[in-house]
Structure 1
Amino acid sequence: MLYNDSIVALATPSGAGAIAIIRISGEEAITIGNSVFQSIKGKDLTQQKTHTLHLGHIIDNNKTLDEVLVSIFKGPNSYTGENTIEISCHGSTYIQQQIIQLLLRKGCRMANPGEFTLRAFLNGKLDLSQAEAVADLISSDNEASHQIAMQQMRGGFSNEIAKLREELLNFASLIELELDFAEEDVEFADRSQFHELLNRIEFVLKRLIDSFAVGNVIKNGIPVAIVGEPNVGKSTLLNALLNEERAIVSEIAGTTRDTIEDELVIGGIGFRFIDTAGIRETQDVVESIGIKKTFEKIEQAQVVVFLFDSSEFKISGLKLKVELEKIKNQFPLKPLVIIGNKADKLTEMEIQNIKTEIPEILLISAKEKLGVEELKNQLLSFVNTGALRNNETIVTNTRHYDSLLKALDEIQKVKYGLETNLSSDLMALDIREALYQFGMITGQVTNDELLGNIFANFCIGK
């Protein structure tokens, strides 16, 4: 597909609002805009400087559609690298559609999803990882995901990868040169320096790969399953965490028949809480299905909150320990937070007895909202935010993660070849593959299918 025609799209959310912005990009964007715009001072948009604003009206034949403000951005000093104008009009959906239809008749076509950012990439304004960060920035819904997207959009991740790729490319050139002089049996690449470089690249790649565990949960939120027997206060706890009546609370055991989910941001990190059906033996078919779903949600969750009625500990303490061991054995790798609810009903002696029996317990009263903040702090402690605080590069994109894994595998092959005196031609193959994977991240290596998959997930006006 050619990307030199003029495209138009609504750059603000669809629907009525105070104002709307309609964006046009392409070689003829300013000319097309000028053909429908009548400046209040008689200005010709094609003769105006870049990065200027102009007040006037959009005219369709002799009909005035709206009073607007037009912004001019001349290529290459624009977001897309092309001539671009943005029309700020009133937010009526009728006005928006009338202006867009007029521009389509004047020679524009509707932009595809992400096509403005795609053009920015094709015109060298952004590399591919920066372009993907644009979508992450738009969808960021908490402080941490916003911070990571901003760092990636500014080129933090790209710069790190580009530096590694350049150093590896320099040595690759020397290795390739050796192949041209194979009969002379000479070495142009210093093997000791090459080994040091490979160790450094391996170290950085492993750090970036490890960061994905944190980056993925920051980007997508951390699923937390709240489990326990019926009527211990799971729904009350969810309501206390969210500070709203999200789940139905009742004295009747088995009220929650299905899972209820909602999100909460704690310390800039998104958590997705899942209130599950109470776990117990039951003949109720519907409740049994809910209990089955509970175990499915525990499987999907990254943290499990086990809630029990602490006021019943004297009676059901032994049964409780059996249930805890069952969950620990079934899900040994998942962090387990053990919470005793209804602690406001306990005496000091009972509190000490429970803490002696279960040292890691957190006693709360969900109904009175006592201990809820301590629970939030404990959940936050499961997230390693050290890299975030230190402004280190954190990988959040699955495509990048996959390429980093493949690049690391190739680098380790090169290291093995260097240590076992493998011939230069075989090592060169592994180096080329590592360079290819680096290029896949930044977009130095692309194909239409890759670009289509990435930009199809963008919103239309971006």
Structure 2
Amino acid sequence: MILEDTIVALASAPGSGAIALIRVSGPDAINFTAPVFEAKNKVSLREQPSHTLQLGFIKKDQRIIDESLVSVFKGTRSYTGENTVEISCHGSPFIQQEIINLLLQQGCRAAQAGEFTLRAFLNGKMELSQAEAVADLIASDNAASHQLAMQQMRGGFASEIKSLRQELLNFASLIELELDFSEEDVEFANRDQFQALILKIQKTLSRLIDSFAVGNVLKNGIPVAIVGEPNVGKSTLLNSLLNEDRAIVSDIAGTTRDTIEDEIAIGGVGFRFIDTAGIRETQDKIEGLGIKKTFQKMEQAQIVVYLFDAQKVKNDNLSLQQVKVEVEKIKNQFPGKPLLIIANKTDVLDPQLKAEFSSALPDVLLLSAKEKEGVEQLEEKLLQFVNTGALKSNDAIVTNSRHYDALLKAQKEINNVQEGMNIGLTGDLLAIDIREALYHFGSISGEVSPDDLLGNIFANFCIGK
């Protein structure tokens, strides 16, 4: 990227629509747009005050391409921190391309993915973690992921890290200063105060690192594996939750031979449901592969939903004790993983048998996936398994794997500093680990930002943002 030139791109979604937005940014944004825009009030775009709009015509020679509304942002008072022009035109793909081609002919360059936000970061309009949150905000598809992205856009935990980094930097400077007076054996950095700061940093890092377990699943959707024997209603339950015929439903056991996944939002939280192959002994190689994948998905899931057929208990001599044995097997294989037990097809049970179910399995949920009875109660149970306390209290939550990795590395270096202080290492050796910790802190906010890091981050953005 050449960051001193002027770029142009479609900033709205591609395709037909009522209105499209074309963004131009760079030192010559106004100069390149002015010759092709004729305002109805005859005022030149160059003379238009900042943060104002004009209605007029986009022209190629004397041919009118479109009647458009053009806004001007001068100097640093813009999203990118440089001269910016935004053209609101009619949403015909032909009009969009004609205007962009016209601006390219004037001297603009086609913007690359994320280049507008990259310029905003480089011009000090936002920190790197906030720039990354822009992509998360665009990708958010439920209330929880939206709230996490907005929290990060407002600074999130990065402001906390920046403050700690500054305190650590102050002590690092004093320790480095001591090295210049090593022969005089003087101590500028108060070791007790430094020890207190290290403990404070360790506590903060541990809290933020632990929050990633919550933040990551809330951002990407909580995976829920629906498991059980064949023909107990797993696919029917998936269809009921999604309110559509997503999975094939049949009376033939073993219909589902591969996993089927789809995502919905429940209470503002994204859940990714995984319908799996029924678990049973089989000689069918294809079905056997599906069952193997079922156990893999159970391993990856945050929550496991185990279904059994309540009608079999009533009609086929399936004992509740057998169900309890299967439940214990799952609990032993996946200890600590939330498990929800569901008795399906209970719409045909009499009240006495329902009471027996609840007595034998106190945590069982009685449900009829086909009739959609008990589905709301299932959704409530799923929400109870999700730790949204930090989200509701607006605590800082880490959602970005790059930030998580940087925090882990910073924690390692801070622990090395702590150990060095405990054994009485000299200032020059402590300074090595302190510098490494400062580097990892700075990589989060962008105070340390190698070109390849920026390239990787902004390559994932959409063009026009």
Q: Same fold (TM over 0.5)?
A: yes
Corresponding residue for residue 347 of structure 1: 350
Shift of 1:216: 0.1
Shift of 1:398: 0.4
Shift of 1:370: 1.9
Corresponding residue for residue 320 of structure 1: 323
- Determine if contact 1:313/1:354 at 8 Å carries over to the other structure: no
Q: Distance in 2 between matches of 1:231 and 1:399?
A: 42
Q: Deviations over 1:21-62 (max 9, x none)?
A: 000000000111101101111111111111100100110111
- Determine if contact 1:40/1:55 at 8 Å carries over to the other structure: yes
Give percent identity, aligned residues only: 67
Shift of 1:284: 3.4
Q: Deviations over 1:187-234 (max 9, x none)?
A: 111111111111111111111111100100011101111111111111
Corresponding residue for residue 81 of structure 1: 81
Shift of 1:291: 2.2
Shift of 1:271: 0.2
- Determine if contact 1:7/1:26 at 8 Å carries over to the other structure: yes
1:278-317, aligned counterparts within 5 Å?
278-313=278-313, 315-317=317-319
Letter in 1 for 2:324: K
Shift of 1:335: 1.5
Shift of 1:19: 0.7
Shift of 1:351: 2.2
Q: CA RMSD in A?
A: 1.3
Which secondary structure does the structure 2 equivalent of 1:86 belong to? Answer: strand
Q: Deviations over 1:388-415 (max 9, x none)?
A: 1111110000000001111111111111
Query: Which segment drifts farther, 103-112 or 307-316?
Result: 307-316
Letter in 1 for 2:461: F
User: Aligned pair 1:220/2:220, yes or no?
Assistant: yes
The count of aligned residue pairs is: 462
Q: Distance in 2 between matches of 1:145 and 1:59?
A: 42
Corresponding residue for residue 441 of structure 1: 444
Corresponding residue for residue 182 of structure 1: 182
Which secondary structure does the structure 2 equivalent of 1:433 belong to? Answer: helix
Letter in 2 for 1:432: R
TM-score (ref. length: structure 2)? 0.97
Q: Distance in 1 between matches of 2:284 and 2:433?
A: 60
Q: Distance in 1 between matches of 2:223 and 2:216?
A: 12
Letter in 2 for 1:320: V
Corresponding residue for residue 67 of structure 1: 67
Corresponding residue for residue 400 of structure 1: 403
Corresponding residue for residue 269 of structure 2: 269
Q: Distance in 2 between matches of 1:316 and 1:151?
A: 51
Which of 417, 423, 427 is 1:424 aligned to?
Answer: 427
Q: Distance in 1 between matches of 2:154 and 2:100?
A: 32
Q: Distance in 2 between matches of 1:261 and 1:61?
A: 54
Corresponding residue for residue 101 of structure 1: 101
User: Aligned pair 1:374/2:362, yes or no?
Assistant: no
Which secondary structure does the structure 2 equivalent of 1:156 belong to? Answer: coil
Q: Distance in 2 between matches of 1:381 and 1:174?
A: 50
Letter in 1 for 2:193: Q
Shift of 1:186: 1.2
User: Aligned pair 1:120/2:120, yes or no?
Assistant: yes
Query: Which segment drifts farther, 16-25 or 311-320?
Result: 311-320
Q: Distance in 1 between matches of 2:244 and 2:390?
A: 33
Corresponding residue for residue 136 of structure 2: 136
Shift of 1:258: 2.3
- Determine if contact 2:439/2:448 at 8 Å carries over to the other structure: yes
Shift of 1:376: 1.0
Letter in 2 for 1:335: P
Shift of 1:235: 1.3
Letter in 2 for 1:329: N
1:2-21, aligned counterparts within 5 Å?
2-21=2-21
Q: Is there any run of 5+ residues in structure 1 with no aligned partner, and where?
A: none
